[in-house]
Amino acid sequence: MKRLLLIVSIGFLIQACEDAPIEDGVICTAEFRTLGVTVTGGQFDDFYTVRKTDNDTIRHSPTIGGSLGDFYPILDDSYQPKLENDQDTFTFHGFLSGELLVKEDYVIKADECHIELVSGNTEIQL
């Protein structure tokens, strides 16, 4: 039984490595990361993220109606090439009826594969 579990486990590991893209000798997982904020108590009618160093404005579609609140993306792995092996501060702006209700800073870094949240509030109550 132990041998069977070992063989099956090795098979899964080999398959996972075959599916992972290789970038310059670095093995990346196939996951696609999205960092965001969960908001309860209201829904924004507009939101966006701004990179502080160059004022790059990033817009995403919200994921409305989760059981814990509405999820608003701040940044996802599509931005990773612009941030690779660096970190920066990104400011999330959330609006309701044209009024800025939320302005939160997030420090985000990226390696050769993915973005990662360093600091910032991921839950907001309106």
Rounded to the nearest integer, the mean pLDDT of the chain is: 82
Task: Return the bridge partners of 87, or none.
Answer: 109
User: To the nearest whole percent, how much of the chain has pLDDT over 70?
Assistant: 75
The answer to whether the pTM exceeds 0.85 is: no
Q: Quick one: pLDDT at residue 65?
A: 66
Confidence of residue 2 (pLDDT cuts 50, 70, 90): very low
Supply 68's token pair.
């814990």
Phi-psi region of 47 (alpha: psi -120 to 50; beta: other; left: phi over 0): beta
Q: Assess whether pLDDT exceeds 70 at residue 9.
A: no
| pLDDT tens readout for residues 50-108 | 999 999 999 988 776 665 578 999 999 999 999 999 999 999 999 999 999 999 999 99
Closest Cα partner for 121 from 101, 104, 96, 102?
Answer: 104
Q: Is the dihedral of CA 67, 73, 74, 79 positive or negative?
A: positive
DSSP conformation class of 59: -
How many other C-beta atoms are found inside a 10 Å radius of the C-beta of residue 21? 10
- Host H or E run for residue 11: helix 2-19
Closest Cα partner for 74 from 11, 40, 123, 24?
Answer: 123
Question: Given the DSSP bridges, would you call strands 34-40 and 46-51 parallel, antiparallel or unpaired?
Answer: unpaired
Q: Quick one: pLDDT at residue 12?
A: 39
Confidence of residue 28 (pLDDT cuts 50, 70, 90): confident
Q: Give the start-to-end residue ranges of the domains of the chain.
A: 1-27, 31-125
Radius of gyration of the chain (CA): 18
